[in-house]
Each structure stands twice: as structure tokens, then as C-alpha cells.
């Protein structure tokens, strides 16, 4: 079983749609969680950290369920510029970041 | 005012050659990393240095040797290149080591290595 699992997609959605990505992780001792965004042929960049109480940043909402070892990202009112791969990232108990394979999002006009 | 820079951006070479990739960060961070992203897009850590000291060394062939001359630089030397080494290699840095909770990593633009 992979340490961090994501549906690779692609998710094809129209502008203005709401889209949700899910991610599961296997190590219950993991302490911190993130969503990174990677544009085609570019480097990953931090989108947002994911806190236990859930957190929101504009159109983006992240949730963490420690009991189910599950992380989600919700994007409201999708823009063309949201098209990218979204990487679920978990800080393992051994002090390294474990990246999921990424979920590809394509927002169409 | 590039934060994390890598050279070269593209590297095409023959099997068996030795090559180096250089990385520099001007963020004043203490920790630097090398990652490999393969054709299936998985990003995996290879090495991590904190203040020039190796702290993470994943199961990587010993043909790969990182070198940190100072805390702003982390270079990667690869001996006897193989076809399977073809990938994108990303350098990254963070203020604190990864184990320090919510600690953002900043990535360089990547080096696309193709071994023929």
C-alpha cells in the first residue's frame, strides 16, 4: 500500500464548478499535512497547510480527519488558472515529506 | 531574486557518463533537499542536509553523491549514469528540518535529466 494515495484523475470541470480531491495516508503517526500545487513542467509550490480543525484560504478549503487518515481539498468557483496537479503531502514520523502521486485538474471554459 | 536555483535546467547525456547538478538557495535556510520525480510523477526524497550535515539518506544507489560546501549550496553528483536515472531532479530548501512540523519547502525549477 502506498504511504499517500490520491486519485490521479484527471478531473475535467467547467469554470465556476466546485471540485473536491481526497487523499488517504497510511502512517497514523504523521504529524503535519499539506497540499502542494504543481503546474505542468514546473516545480511544486505550497498551496496550503492542513490543520486539524480544517482551514480555508479564499476559494480553497482543506480538511483533515485523523481517525480515518484522510485529507481533502475543496475548490469553489474554479478558475481556468486552477488547472494544475494537486499533490497531497504528509510529514512522516521519520521526518520526511511523503508526496502523493497528485491529482490532475483541468478547468475548461 | 530567485529563491532556489538549479543548473543546468536540461541535461542530456550518454549511459556511463558522470554528471553534476548544482543547487543554490538565497533564502537563508538551514536545510536543503534533493528529490527525484519519475515519469509517473511520484516525487521522492533522496537526501536532506541540515547545516551541511547529512540527515536523510534514502535508499539511493551510491552512484549518487550529494555535497554541501556551505548551507546555501547542495550539489548532486551522479556516477556511471543509467537509463533509469532519467527523471526530473528537484532541489528544495526549508528554514527548519522536515521533522519540525509545519515547515514549508521551497523548490527549485528542476533539472530534466535524460540518459540515452
Over residues B35-92, the pLDDT tens digits come to 999 988 889 999 999 888 888 888 789 999 999 999 999 999 999 999 999 999 999 9
Q: What does R_g of chain B's alpha carbons equal in angstroms?
A: 13
Q: Which residues of A touch B99 (CB under 8 A)?
A: 91, 94-95
**Among B87, B99, B111, the residue to mutate for chain A (most A Cβ within 10 A):** B99
Whole-angstrom Cα distance, residue A63 to residue B15?
Answer: 46
Amino acid B100: pLDDT: 64
Whether residue B99 has pLDDT greater than 90: no
Average pLDDT, chain B: 92
- Taking the C-alpha atoms of residue B116 and residue B9, their distance in angstroms, rounded to an integer, is 17
Alpha helices (H) in A1-107, listed in sequence order: none
Q: Residue A12: count other Cβ atoms within 10 Å of its Cβ.
A: 13
CA dist B28 and B114 (Å) reads: 31
CB A96 within 8 A of CB A46: no
To the nearest whole Å, the CA of A102 is away from the closest chain B CA by 8
Output the pLDDT for position B65: 94
Report the pLDDT value the prediction gives residue A79, as an integer from 0 to 100: 98
- A48-82 pLDDT per residue, tens: 999 988 899 999 999 999 999 999 999 999 999 99
- How close A11 comes to chain B (CA, Å)? 16
Q: What average pLDDT score do residues A34-50 get?
A: 96
Which chain B residues are within 8 Å of A9, Cβ to Cβ? none
CA pair distance A46, B65, nearest whole angstrom = 28
- Chain B residues whose beta carbon lies within 8 Å of the beta carbon of residue A34: 102, 104
The three grid cell numbers given for residue A67, joined into one nine-digit string: 481517525
Residue A20's CB is within 10 A of a number of other CB atoms, namely: 12
Task: Say which residue, B35 or A1, is predicted with more confidence.
Answer: B35
β-strands B43-50, B53-57 pairing: antiparallel
Amino acid at each position: 500500500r502506498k504511504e499517500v494515495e490520491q486519485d490521479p484523475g484527471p478531473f475535467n470541470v467547467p469554470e465556476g464548478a466546485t471540485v473536491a480531491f481526497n487523499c488517504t495516508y497510511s502512517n497514523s503517526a504523521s504529524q503535519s499535512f499539506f497540499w502542494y500545487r504543481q503546474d505542468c513542467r514546473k516545480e511544486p509550490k505550497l498551496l496550503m497547510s492542513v490543520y486539524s480543525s480544517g482551514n480555508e484560504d479564499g476559494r480553497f478549503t482543506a480538511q483533515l480527519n485523523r481517525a480515518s487518515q484522510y485529507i481533502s481539498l475543496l475548490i469553489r468557483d474554479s478558475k481556468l488558472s486552477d488547472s494544475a496537479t494537486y499533490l497531497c503531502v504528509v510529514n512522516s514520523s521519520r521526518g520526511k515529506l511523503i508526496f502523493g502521486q497528485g491529482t490532475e485538474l483541468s478547468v475548461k471554459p | 531574486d530567485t529563491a532556489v536555483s538549479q543548473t543546468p535546467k536540461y541535461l542530456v547525456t550518454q549511459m556511463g557518463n558522470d554528471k553534476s547538478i548544482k543547487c543554490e538557495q538565497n533564502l537563508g535556510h538551514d536545510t536543503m533537499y534533493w528529490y527525484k520525480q519519475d515519469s509517473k510523477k511520484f516525487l521522492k526524497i533522496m537526501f536532506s542536509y541540515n547545516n551541511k550535515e547529512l540527515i536523510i539518506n534514502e535508499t539511493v544507489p551510491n552512484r549518487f553523491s550529494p555535497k554541501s560546501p556551505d548551507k546555501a549550496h547542495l550539489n548532486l553528483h551522479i556516477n556511471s549514469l543509467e537509463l533509469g536515472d532519467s527523471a526530473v531532479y528537484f532541489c528544495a530548501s526549508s528554514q527548519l528540518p522536515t521533522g519540525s512540523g509545519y515547515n514549508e519547502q521551497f523548490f527549485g525549477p528542476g533539472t530534466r535529466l535524460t540518459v540515452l
